[in-house]
Amino acid sequence: MSVRARFAPSPTGKLHVGNVRTALVNVLFSRKMGGQFVLRFEDTDLEREVPEAETQMISVFDWLGITADESTAHGGDFGPYRTRDRAKRGDYDEALKVLFEKGLAYECFVSKEELDMIRRLRTSRGLPPGYDNRHRDLTEREKEAYRAEGREPVIRFKLLDGEIAFEDLVRGSVRYEAKNLGGDPVIVRSNGIPIFTFAGAVDDINQKITHVIRGEDHVTNAAIQVRIFEALGAKVPSFAHFTMLLDSDGGKLSKRLDSLSIAQLREQGFLPKSILSYLAAIGTSMDPTLGSIEELAQRFDFATAGRAPVRFELEQIERLNALLIHDMDWPEARDYVLARVDNPMAEDEMELFWHAVRPNISLLSQIKEQFDLCFGDIENTGLIADDADYIRIAEQELPKGPYSKQTWQAWVGTLKEKTGRKGKDLFMPLRIALTGISHGPELAELLPVMGEERARARLKQACK
């Protein structure tokens, strides 16, 4: 059977590095196997839902170059691709009917306050917190009485005692005692909307999903879902739960998720290829190296995935990003550059500018500061008064344009002879006078970009 994997985000926020990594492993595995990748939206949490989240997520995927074979945007044979649309069609009612018929689902009228009390009691008795299954066998009369009180039931799934075991492609053999999983789980809320643990399993069955690949925060859900698949008479899919990403200090990444949203990384000038190449390698025994989605897919192997939580290092993406930028020729860089500078010069000059500054850039957002450094107003910070005479001489000796890459050597050679300066004393005041700062692009490259007029004006300004 052909592999079918899926990514099933809840439209409750922005896509960040953690969930894109989950999406990506699904993409890479399904591509490698010549299968399909399904993008499905689990809109089961009305309170946390963000109206524009789905559209934003789709545009992030487009930007990343990740194309789903089936989704709300692309359609497909197994639609609709939103939980609430599938609910309207009756998918979950049908599955519920089976569970009720088998005596594996029941209405539970326990109130929030009672639940809270049950949890506290269980904790005080040294039991794992959770629900104690007290409404499993209510009589019709008891149910009527609760209804008469105005209580609206949730529907719970009967998690019968016994071991639940499955093989996980990342974690190996996983085993749980059902009674340690916190009691019978709610599968439909009192507002009639299914919980994703249930809806997702029903969708996985109906959409013929063969592999459920996601983060390890879902391992216990997988145990419950194994029972749901079985109860619905379906084949249990293969599971793979990838380790969580940690912050660089070893804490949860969740505090930083806003700043690590893909939209934010895009804004900062990270490129899709460096983001994806890093996310394909994180938590595996592979070194992050740049590759297209096809290349990353060829390298993909569950056997390389580690089991220990792994630290997310943005610097690693920046390192890959720098490699990409340093290699980027003008036609490819053009749009990125023109979008980031206010008054671009003529095309040829911009190309010269790009070649001079690209070795100094690791993020596209740095283009603007490099442009300002070449063409904007600068302040001469750090030029000491003793250097004023030197800069005056430098201005007098500045060659006539047009400049080439050799101009710098010739100019500095003359200055060395005239002033006896050498090393840092020779070139650092020139750098500061010309660019305002003590580091930056190679001056030999920069001088032809600046041209004689601008260079002379900056030198004059610097010795004032």
Q: Convert residues 311-340 into a mask of x (bound to ligand GLU by CB under 6 A) and - (unbound).
A: ------------------------------
Whole-angstrom CA distances from 151 to 119, 135, 194, 293 are 20, 13, 18, 52
Smallest separation, CB 221 to ligand GLU (Å): 7
SS3 73: coil
Q: Is the Cβ of residue 239 or residue 312 nearer to ligand GLU in the bound state?
A: 239
SS3 334: helix
SS3 155: strand
Smallest separation, CB 69 to ligand GLU (Å): 17
Q: Which of 11, 35, 130, 200 binds ligand GLU (CB under 6 A)?
A: 200
Contact region with ligand GLU (CB under 6 A), list: 8-16, 97-105, 323-331, 402-410? 8-16
Smallest separation, CB 78 to ligand GLU (Å): 16
C-alpha–C-alpha distance, residues 327 and 266, integer Å = 19
Smallest separation, CB 229 to ligand GLU (Å): 12
Residues 6+ apart with CB under 8 A from 213: 5, 22, 25, 26, 29, 169, 239, 240, 241, 242
Work out whether 9 is an interface residue with ligand GLU (CB under 6 A): yes
SS3 157: strand
Smallest separation, CB 131 to ligand GLU (Å): 21
Which segments of 288-340 does DSSP mark as H helices, in order? 293-299, 314-326, 330-338
Measured over the CA atoms of residue 54, residue 60, residue 63 and residue 66, the dihedral's sign is: negative
C-alpha–C-alpha distance, residues 224 and 127, integer Å = 19
Work out whether 194 is an interface residue with ligand GLU (CB under 6 A): no
Smallest separation, CB 42 to ligand GLU (Å): 4
Q: Is the Cβ of residue 26 or residue 370 nearer to ligand GLU in the bound state?
A: 26
Smallest separation, CB 199 to ligand GLU (Å): 9
Q: Which of 3, 4, 5, 10 binds ligand GLU (CB under 6 A)?
A: 10
Smallest separation, CB 178 to ligand GLU (Å): 19
Q: Is the Cβ of residue 42 or residue 168 nearer to ligand GLU in the bound state?
A: 42
Sheet holding 36-39, edge to edge: 36-39, 4-7, 211-215, 238-242, 163-168, 172-177
Q: Which of 4, 82, 86, 214 binds ligand GLU (CB under 6 A)?
A: 214
Q: Is the Cβ of residue 48 or residue 102 nearer to ligand GLU in the bound state?
A: 48
β-bridge pairing 172-177 and 163-168:
antiparallel
Q: Is the Cβ of residue 6 or residue 119 nearer to ligand GLU in the bound state?
A: 6
SS3 358: helix
C-alpha–C-alpha distance, residues 100 and 155, integer Å = 10
Single out the residue of 2, 4, 8 nearest to residue 81, CA to CA.
Answer: 8
Work out whether 218 is an interface residue with ligand GLU (CB under 6 A): yes
Work out whether 440 is an interface residue with ligand GLU (CB under 6 A): no
Q: How many other C-beta atoms can be found within 10 angstroms of the C-beta atom of residue 193?
A: 17
Residue of this chain nearest to ligand GLU (CB atom): 42
Total binding residues toward ligand GLU, as defined by CB under 6 A: 8
Contact region with ligand GLU (CB under 6 A), list: 5-13, 110-118, 342-350, 383-391? 5-13
C-alpha–C-alpha distance, residues 304 and 286, integer Å = 7
β-bridge pairing 105-108 and 154-157:
antiparallel
Please, which of residues 151-170 interact with ligand GLU by CB under 6 A?
none
The token duo for 396 is 């007098």
Work out whether 42 is an interface residue with ligand GLU (CB under 6 A): yes
Contact region with ligand GLU (CB under 6 A), list: 2-10, 46-54, 272-280, 380-388? 2-10
- Residue 217 DSSP code: G
Q: Convert residues 64-83 into a mask of x (bound to ligand GLU by CB under 6 A) and - (unbound).
A: --------------------
Work out whether 229 is an interface residue with ligand GLU (CB under 6 A): no
284-299 exposure pattern, b = at least 16 Cβ within 10 A, e = fewer: beeebebbebeebbeb
Work out whether 8 is an interface residue with ligand GLU (CB under 6 A): yes
Cβ-contact 204, 237 below 8 angstroms: yes
Q: Is the Cβ of residue 15 or residue 361 nearer to ligand GLU in the bound state?
A: 15
Smallest separation, CB 45 to ligand GLU (Å): 8
Q: Which of 37, 92, 196, 375 binds ligand GLU (CB under 6 A)?
A: 196
Residues in the chain, overall count: 464
Smallest separation, CB 172 to ligand GLU (Å): 20
> Which residues sit at the interface with ligand GLU, rule CB under 6 A?
8-10, 42, 196, 200, 214, 218
